[in-house]
Amino acid sequence: MIKRDTSPATLSLAIPLLRHITEETRGTEIELASAGVLANALIEAGRYAEAEQMERDRIARCVMQGNYRLASSASGNLFVLFRRTGRYEEALRTAEEMAGHTRRAGLGPWTQLSDEVQRLQALNVLGHYAEVLAAVEGHRAQMRALPEESAAEETVDLWNVREGLLDTGREAALRSGQWETALSLNAECVESERRRGADELEIAWTRFNDYGPLLGLRRYPEVRALLRDCRAAFEQESAVYELGLVYGALARLENEEGRPASAARFGQTAMRYHYQTGQPEACAIGHNNLANYIELAGGAPDAVLAHRLAAGIIRWQISSGQLSATVRNLARSSLPPEPPSFAQVCAILEQIEGVRFRELFAKLPQRTPDGDAAIRAVWEMARGFDLEQEGRRRVQEVLSGFEPLLQGIAAVARGNSQPRAEIEDLLPKLEEKGWRIADAVRRLWAGERDAEALTAGLDAQDAALVRRALELLEAP
């Protein structure tokens, strides 16, 4: 029943029955399995502290009994709990421990790959995108070689592992701005779902993942049509979490098309849905984006600051890989001499219907003793943030990523025509992503060598690319 329906009413009916089953099976061979079903229901009901203690006890007892199969399953439940509550470093450690239990249980290659997917998901939320993408590419090749019918015992559905790996790679590509890679991985995932007969809600949810890359490529009409279809599918099923994401996406689209006030209204609607589900990272993203929209629309500075601080507090408490981006946004703001109090921040945030920031904060991991201490920690990070050093670091990252292309540009300028056609095809795609170097490259190929003239009107990162191409051209 609770695999089909995890509504509060259903869980409130199921949990007492499951507790009774667990008590009645105590001391029998199915006791630990029964306790696992109860723990899973408690997680779905948001009763995380109780579920965590049950699963920790269950893992310890399974290991003592040599029942590594159940220890692996219990670790999987604990992993889900840590992901939902923003405890990502603990989630990563749990995924690694789970993999050890799976191997000791003698479970097959698909189950072992499933554990690896969960480890990569934890690395994603901690910001290790390049590492994740490299691993996903390696595992895709491994996956193609695995038999559809495993000779060993498996505790997972093969399609679930396949789609989970593809989606984890898509997320890493999205976070690192590799739009075409993200679209390609997601298209493969949708095709897998259609082959196995997934329902329309599941397919709509996967298709929704295309909105970010399409937005990055500025294909706005496609984004709007996609979001319209997804919102209809989510409303049909009263999918609260998904509706929060779709309204957040609509806000971002409105902002991209130059309507920040409209974006802020959509952003507030998204926040109401995010707080219904209570997922920390979704709430942090919502606060961060809403701050940007309010600022662009000329809204109240204290509201902008409150939402940025809210995003920073959440990400500080949960050790999010996105914390540095929030701190950077705060550092770029015009900060007053002293931070507002936690009570002042909450009063501003909770003017939005359904936003219950105090309640959310109380459920987060407590890296600091209270809200004022959390604000102070984030505030000091922003005050100490070196924007110039960060700018130099980002330029170095860009140069490193573009080095093979810049080598090719310099080679063409020296008279090697072989890479020219490929680079010519690539330049318009880079323009779509916001890299304005095509004109400078063609002028460079035409013989122009004045760095000041070639970089006039370019931003710091584009100018750095052009200067690096000149350096390569002038090198022996």
Q: What CATH number has the domain bearing residue 39?
A: 1.25.40.10
Domain tally, the chain: 3
Reply yes or no on whether the pLDDT at 234 is more than 70.
Answer: yes
- Phi then psi for residue 434, to 5 deg, are 100, 5
Out of 83-92, 126-135, 188-197, give the one with best mean pLDDT: 188-197
If one compares 208 and 387, the residue with the highest pLDDT of the two is 208
| 473, 410 contact by CB (below 8 A) | yes
Select from 95, 128, 143 the last residue of a domain.
95
Same domain, 75 and 114: no
Q: Are 119 and 91 in contact (CB under 8 A)?
A: no
d(C-alpha 8, C-alpha 118), whole Å: 27
Regarding whether 146 and 91 lie in a shared domain, the answer is no
**pLDDT digit string (tens) for 74-83?**
999 999 999 8
Q: With respect to residue 13, please indicate whether it lies within any of the assigned structural domains.
A: yes
Query: What's the mean pLDDT in 263-277?
Result: 96
Q: pLDDT tens for residues 14-24?
A: 999 999 999 99
Q: How many helices (H) and strands (E) does the chain have?
A: 25, 0
Is 346 in contact with 412 (CB distance < 8 Å)?
Answer: no
Same-domain pairing of 162 and 90? no
User: Of 55, 75, 95, which residue is a domain's last?
Assistant: 95
- Structural domain boundaries, residue 166: 107-198
Residues 6 or more apart whose Cβ sits within 8 Å of residue 152: 106, 107, 108, 109
Do 85 and 120 fall into the same domain?
A: no
- Residue 78 domain-assigned? yes
The two three-digit tokens of residue 143, written as one number: 């996956």
Residue 247 has pLDDT above 90, yes or no: yes
127 and 180 in a single domain? The answer is yes
pLDDT-based confidence at 388, cuts 50/70/90? low
Q: What percent of the chain has pLDDT over 90?
A: 63
* Position 40 in a domain: yes
Judge contact between 224 and 254, C-beta under 8 A. Answer: no
Question: Which pLDDT value is given to residue 386?
Answer: 63
pLDDT score recorded for residue 393: 67
Average pLDDT over every residue of 116-124: 93
**Any domain includes 33:** yes
Tokens 């609607």 belong to 269
Q: What is the pLDDT of residues 398-426, one digit of tens each?
A: 777 788 889 889 999 988 888 888 898 88
Closest CA to 165 of 142, 149, 145, 195: 142
Q: Is the pLDDT of residue 347 over 90?
A: yes
Length of the chain: 476
Rg of the Cα trace of the chain? 25
- pLDDT exceeds cutoff 70 at 391: no
Given a cut of 70, whether residue 299 has pLDDT beyond it is yes
**pLDDT for residue 145:** 86
Does residue 145 contact residue 162 with C-beta atoms inside 8 Å?
Answer: no
Contact 454, 444 (CB under 8 A): yes
Which phi and psi angles does 106 have, rounded to 5°? 75, 20
pLDDT band at 10 (very low <50, low <70, confident <90, very high): confident
Q: Is residue 160 part of a domain?
A: yes
Report which DSSP code applies to 368: S
User: Residues 3, 62: one domain?
Assistant: yes
Same-domain pairing of 417 and 461: yes
Do both 112 and 151 map to the same domain?
Answer: yes
DSSP 125-155: HTT-HHHHHHHHHHHHHHHHHS-SS-SS---
Which residue, 247, 225, 222, is CA-closest to 234?
A: 247
**CB-side neighbour CA atoms (13 Å) of 130:** 2
Q: Are residues 6 and 87 in the same domain?
A: yes
Last residue of a domain, one of 134, 166, 198: 198
Task: Calculate ∠ Cα 171-175-180, nearest 5°.
Answer: 75
What pLDDT sits at residue 389? Answer: 62
Query: What token pair was written down for 180?
Result: 């075409």
Residue 262 maps to a domain: no
Say how many C-beta atoms besides its own lie within 10 A of residue 10's C-beta: 16
Task: Spell 161-186 as b/e; 16+ CB within 10 A means b.
Answer: bbbbbbbbbbbbbbbbebbebbbbbb
Per-residue pLDDT tens digits for 427-445: 887 887 788 899 999 999 9
pLDDT at residue 397 is higher than 90: no
Tell me: do 127 and 89 sit in the same domain.
Answer: no
| Interval 132-139 mean pLDDT | 92
Residue-averaged pLDDT of the chain: 90
Q: Tens digits of per-residue pLDDT, 319-342?
A: 787 888 888 889 888 889 899 999
Task: Tell me, yes or no, whether 1 and 90 share the same domain.
Answer: yes
Residues 80 and 112 in one domain: no
**Amino acid sitting at position 382:** A
For the chain, the helix, strand and coil percentages under 3-state DSSP, each to the nearest 5: 75, 0, 25
Q: Is residue 298 domain-resident?
A: no
Comparing CA positions, the residue from 255, 282, 280, 281 lying closest to residue 266 is 255
The dihedral sign for the CA sequence 322, 364, 231, 117 = positive
- Average pLDDT of span 291-318: 94
Tell me what the mean pLDDT of segment 287-304 comes to.
95
CA dihedral 340, 345, 347, 349 (to 10 degrees): 150
pLDDT bucket at 189, cuts 50 / 70 / 90: very high
Confidence of residue 160 (pLDDT cuts 50, 70, 90): very high
For residue 186, how far is the Cα from the chain centroid? 15
Work out the average pLDDT over 174-201: 92
Domain-embedded: residue 77? yes
| pTM over the 0.75 mark | no
